[in-house]
């Protein structure tokens, strides 16, 4: 019995931070246990917003792959590949372009949000409007059944389902399954050091590739309970402390209870508390740093892993594309 297929992608637009690790990557790692997983770098998608600076994308792509592998994505179990190496995505994207009404794209809330939020960029391009069509091609070319994504991606996934449905209906054959989103656990909300959502653009992120010293420095700078200026004031960690949201993710149950009690009783000071957190975070990142150092020592290894992933992805994509073309034209054609 073959396992269900999971597929997801990330855009190579910068280094990963703890928010990505808890919100996305951990989920990807867990899915490897139960599904056939396909994970790819969505470099064409990065190009939709970075077309003025495309030359940064290759190094971001390598960086992303290194971080996935050092976090524990396993190339023996998952197909790890780069979108632009699989031309079949582009061909399917073109064919989908013929059947997708522009109105579906213009009313997409994620599209409208991004236009709003990225006003510094000119996103009035054909490619950016077509972003979710390309995403649909990414997913459907592998007939993926499950797609782990964040809530912001739900409109894109709904559109993927609509495109699949429309294709199947127009050409009279159930070529594509309707993929379902897999939302990651809610616990994964990671605060940045200033209490806002962790994000590269807010400058509040702890990156997976920070040095131990940087991690310590950033954590010691974290906002705690602002209504507790002195250690002798009782704290309210669960409701008022930013650092506590991170402490919660890194501290075993028993110790966590002690911390809460000691903070409430004004026995534990914020500095000591954050120093303990910093050590826990550093310790949890150490295996990643070690694996990364190993990978960087073996220059060809990354290339090999990705070539193998690309080859495997291409094989599957090519089969779907043949089926698509035959369904569409009604015959085997040139
Ligand atoms: N749009 C996704 C994001 O920004 C990245 C992506 C591209 C993707 N193609 C995909 C995610 C296919 C899941 C499946 O996060």
pLDDT tens digits, residue range 99-109?
Answer: 999 999 999 98
pLDDT at 295: 95
Mean of pLDDT over the chain: 95
Residue 185 has pLDDT above 70, yes or no: no
Residue for token pair 């940045």: 192
pLDDT confidence bin for 120, thresholds 50/70/90:
confident
Whether 138 lines ligand 1, by a CB cut-off of 6 Å, is: yes
Please name the residues in contact with 78: beta carbons below 8 A apart, sequence gap of 6 or more.
28, 32, 37, 38, 39
Q: What is the phi-psi region of residue 6: left when phi exceeds 0, alpha when psi lies from -120 to 50, beta otherwise?
A: beta
For residue 217, give both structure tokens.
């420095």
pLDDT in tens, 221-268: 999 998 998 999 999 999 999 999 999 999 999 999 999 999 999 999
Q: Is the pLDDT of residue 184 over 90?
A: no
Q: Distances in Å between the alpha carbon of 118 and those of 32, 112, 279?
A: 34, 10, 37
The rounded radius of gyration (Å) of the Cα atoms in the chain is 22
Residue 269 burial by Cβ neighbours in a 10 Å radius (0-12, 13-18, 19+): middle
Q: Give pLDDT, residue 150.
A: 87
Asked whether residue 327 carries a pLDDT value surpassing 90, the answer given is yes
Cβ contacts of residue 307 below 8 Å, gap of 6+?
Answer: none
Q: Which residue among 6, 7, 8, 84 has the greatest number of ligand 1 atoms within 8 angstroms of its CB, and so is best to mutate?
A: 8
In this prediction, residue 219 carries a pLDDT of: 97
Cα(131)–Cα(328) distance, integer angstroms: 23
Q: Which of 138, 140, 146 to mutate to test the pocket of ligand 1 (most atoms within 8 A of CB)?
A: 138
188 falls in which pLDDT band (50, 70, 90)?
A: low
Residues 6+ apart with CB under 8 A from 92: 137, 140, 141, 317, 320, 321, 324
For the chain, domains (ranges, CATH) are 5-189+299-329 (3.40.50.620), 212-293 (1.10.240.10)
Residue 79 has pLDDT above 90, yes or no: yes
pLDDT band of 6, cuts 50, 70, 90 = very high
Residue 186: predicted pLDDT: 54
90 CA → ligand 1 middle, Å: 15
Separation of CA 327 and ligand 1 centre (Å): 26
Q: Is 9 in the pocket of ligand 1 (CB under 6 A)?
A: yes
Residue 242 CB contacts under 8 Å (≥ 6 apart), including other chains: 191, 193, 194, 195, 222, 223, 224
The mean pLDDT value for 3-30 works out to: 95
Tell me the pTM: 0.94
Tell me which residue has its CA closest to atom 3 in ligand 1.
10
User: Which positions ≥6 away from 164 have C-beta within 8 Å?
Assistant: 136, 140, 176, 177, 178, 179
Cβ neighbours for 81, distance < 8 A, ≥ 6 positions apart: 38, 39, 40, 41, 306, 309, 310, 312, 313
* pLDDT reported for residue 151: 87
């Amino acid at each position: 019995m073959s396992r269900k297929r999971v597929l997801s992608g990330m855009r190579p637009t910068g280094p990963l931070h703890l928010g990505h690790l808890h919100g996305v990557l951990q989920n990807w790692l867990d899915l490897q246990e139960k599904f056939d997983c396909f994970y790819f770098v969505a470099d064409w998608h990065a190009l939709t917003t970075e077309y003025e600076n495309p030359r940064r994308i290759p190094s971001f792509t390598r960086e992303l792959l290194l971080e996935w592998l050092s976090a524990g994505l396993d190339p023996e179990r998952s197909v790890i590949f780069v979108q632009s190496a699989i031309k079949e995505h582009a061909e399917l994207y073109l064919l989908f372009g013929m059947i997708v009404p522009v109105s579906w794209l213009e009313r997409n809330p994620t599209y409208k949000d991004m236009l709003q939020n990225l006003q510094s960029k000119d996103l009035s391009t054909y490619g950016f409007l077509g972003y979710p069509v390309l995403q649909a091609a990414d997913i459907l070319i592998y007939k993926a059944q499950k797609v782990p994504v964040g809530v912001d991606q739900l409109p894109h996934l709904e559109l993927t389902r609509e495109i699949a449905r429309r294709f199947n209906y127009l050409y009279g054959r159930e070529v594509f399954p309707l993929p379902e989103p897999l939302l990651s656990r809610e616990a994964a909300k990671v605060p940045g050091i200033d209490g806002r959502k962790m994000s590269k653009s807010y400058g509040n992120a702890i990156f997976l590739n920070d040095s131990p010293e940087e991690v310590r420095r950033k954590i010691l700078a974290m906002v705690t309970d602002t209504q507790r200026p002195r250690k002798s004031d009782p704290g309210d960690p669960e409701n008022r402390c930013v650092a506590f949201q991170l402490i919660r993710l890194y501290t075993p149950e028993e110790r966590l209870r002690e911390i809460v009690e000691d903070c409430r009783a004004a026995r534990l000071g914020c500095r000591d508390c954050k120093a303990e957190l910093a050590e826990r975070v550093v310790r949890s990142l150490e295996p990643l740093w070690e694996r990364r150092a190993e990978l960087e020592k073996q220059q060809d290894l990354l290339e090999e892993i990705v070539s193998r992933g690309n080859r495997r992805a291409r094989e599957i994509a090519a089969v779907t594309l043949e089926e698509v073309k035959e369904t569409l034209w009604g015959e085997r054609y040139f």
